[in-house]
Amino acid sequence: MPAGCALSTFLCDGVLDFIDQAIVSKFGDDLLFWFRFLDDTFAILADKHKLNTVQDFLNEFHESLNFTVEVEQKATSNVYAPLNTLPFLDLLLINNPAGILCDHFIKPSQTTRTINFSSAHAPNVHRAILMGEIKRSFAHCSTTTMKKRQAVRIKYKYLQNGYPESLIDTSIMKMSNLDSVTKRDQKTTQDRWIKVPYVKGITEVFSKALKGSGIKLACSNPVTIRTLSNKSRSSQHSPSQSTEGGGEQSGNAAVVYAIPCTNCPMVYIGQTGRNLNTRINEHNRCIKKADKSNALARHINDTGHEINLKGTKAVYVERNASIRLNLEAYTIAVNATRTLNISPPNSNMIAWNKLIRAYDVT
């Protein structure tokens, strides 16, 4: 199967599951431990002389399947000598007489390069990268000495990438203290999060305006390798190219739209990822049925006005759903006094309302 094909993962899992079952039933008692993660397996054999027999059995399944084996080796660094070690995934397994120990494993090919502190990402992204690495490394360590070694490695790595020493030190301190980590995790679960694209200088102001509101910003970078390389997507408006424009664009898909009332200045603001015509037809059916849950039908019922469906305008064209929802919330917030919308405000709208009030954007 080709790599990347949707069926490949499913079929590979099936084949490897079949091999797992075959080997466990064939070698039974000789196999003290067998753990597979994707295509890497860690196993403990009761008799090391059976290793070749097991490998031959695995390689007889199919001519195109070739399994390689790594066995524990005398530690190459003085740290674990004279014990044997074996890397498995992100772990370095150490064969200690009292039981297997784990340390965080760094591939020899890995460099100390990571996202530089000066690169244009939200400050919490830099913190999260650092905290994530500390948390992951510490979780792999069986002893405090190992954690201390990881702390030294991480400090050196992040200093080289321009991170302030004080930030590195406090992050390591925080992660060393498990209690504070648990408290921090509990606290963040009560917050509501909205996803916004990161724009240096603006996101910081936005984030400040939301302080104390219980709403946090999850910043994303709208320009990714995918958006840069996928020409067919970018030609249909990439996430960073929201187009503001008037005129009837009812043939557009993925838009924030405005439907005006014929008799008063009120408008209905909505968004759809589908074709705008399809959405207008749905509104039309609701109006004909006098569906009270539809804001347009309700306005007709309350006032006797007519809705100008033909005057529907696409206010923004945006294929990225998250950005489109934010644009919709923003449009509702700046038109707050003249929208027909009846749905209760969501986190996006609360955030935009707060920002607009704080900085009087209207």
Instruction: Name the minimum Å distance from CB 244 to Zn ion.
Output: 25
Residue type, 289: K
Sole window of 13-21, 63-71, 277-285, 303-311 interacting with Zn ion (rule: CB under 5 A): 303-311
Per CB under 5 A, 264 contacts Zn ion = yes
| Dist. CA 42–CA 86, nearest whole Å | 10
* Closer to Zn ion by Cβ: residue 266 or 315: 266
The Cβ-side half-sphere exposure at 293, using a 13 Å CA radius, reads 2
User: With CB under 5 A as the contact rule, which of the stretches 21-29, 69-77, 263-271, 350-358 interacts with Zn ion?
Assistant: 263-271
- Rounded to a whole number of angstroms, the minimum distance from the CB of residue 266 to Zn ion is 5
Q: For Zn ion, how many residues bind (rule: CB under 5 A)? A: 5
Task: Give the residue with the Cβ less far from Zn ion, 266 or 351.
Answer: 266
The SS3 of residue 149 is helix
User: Segment near Zn ion (CB under 5 A), from 118-126, 196-204, 298-306, 352-360?
Assistant: 298-306
Instruction: Give yes or no for residue 295 binding Zn ion (CB under 5 A).
Output: no
255 belongs to the binding site for Zn ion (CB under 5 A): no
Residue 172 in contact with Zn ion, rule: CB under 5 A: no
Residues 90 to 109 in contact with Zn ion, rule: CB under 5 A: none
Closest CA to 194 of 342, 337, 317, 327: 327
Specify the stretch interacting with Zn ion by CB under 5 A; choose among 139-147, 161-169, 188-196, 266-274.
266-274
Is 342 one of the binding residues for Zn ion (CB under 5 A)?
no
Nearest residue to 173 (alpha-carbon basis) of 191, 155, 161: 155
**How is residue 111 written in tokens?**
């460099």
DSSP state at residue 261: B
Please tell me the distance from the alpha carbon of residue 347 to that of residue 349, in angstroms, as a whole number.
5
CB burial of 104-133 (b: ≥16 within 10 Å; e: otherwise) equals bbeeeeeeeebeebeeebbebbbeebbbeb
Structure tokens at 160: 């080289």
Give the dihedral of Cα atoms 275, 279, 285, 291; nearest 10 deg: 170
Part of the chain binding Zn ion (CB under 5 A), chosen from 20-28, 56-64, 150-158, 256-264: 256-264
**Spatial contact of 129 and 114, defined as CB atoms under 8 Å apart:** yes
Given a contact cutoff of 8 angstroms between Cβ atoms, the answer to whether 358 and 352 are in contact is: no
Nearest residue to Zn ion by CB is 261
* Closer to Zn ion by Cβ: residue 256 or 295: 295
Question: Applying CB under 5 A, which of residues 253, 305, 339, 345 lies at the interface with Zn ion?
Answer: 305
> Residue 175 has which token pair?
């992660």
> CB of 303: closest distance to Zn ion in angstroms?
5
Nearer to Zn ion by Cβ, of 145 and 263: the residue is 263
Measure the CA–CA gap between 270 and 283, rounded to whole angstroms: 11
As measured in angstroms, the least distance from the Cβ of 271 to Zn ion is: 21
Using the rule CB under 5 A, which residue among 146, 168, 261, 276 binds Zn ion? 261
Q: Does 298 bind Zn ion (CB under 5 A)?
A: no
Q: Which residues here bind Zn ion, judged by CB under 5 A?
A: 261, 263-264, 266, 305
